[in-house]
Amino acid sequence: MYAILQEARKGRRLGIKYLALIDKTKVPGQYWTSDNADLIFRFKSQKAAISRALKLHNNAKVMTYEEAVEIIKDQKHQIETHKK
């Protein structure tokens, strides 16, 4: 399984560096998440993920789903720590 992450344009002061493409069937009208790993879209093939990433901006990167989940979970911790 694969996922797409891209660099966030805003939110660096809050600890947001990356956004993950989400499954729109789970949250209609939303395309990206900075802190909810449960919403990350899972591509079955690397080829499909690469094809989709090429249509995106802000340095979209394809990686394994597990890597993306780890990055977003770590980022969520940083965001929560920053809020305190």
* Residue 45 Cα to chain centre, angstroms: 17
**The pLDDT of residue 84 is above 60:** no
The more confident residue out of 13 and 1 is 1
Q: What is the pLDDT of residues 4-51, one digit of tens each?
A: 999 888 877 777 899 999 988 888 888 999 999 999 999 999 999 999
Q: Can you tell me the distance from the alpha carbon of 78 to that of 60, in angstroms, rounded to the nearest whole number?
A: 21
- 56 within 8 A of 8, measured Cβ to Cβ: no
- Tell me the domain boundaries of the chain: 2-83
Burial (0-12, 13-18, 19+ Cβ within 10 Å), 78: middle
Q: pTM value?
A: 0.85
Counted residue by residue, the chain has a size of: 84
User: Residue 47: what pLDDT?
Assistant: 96
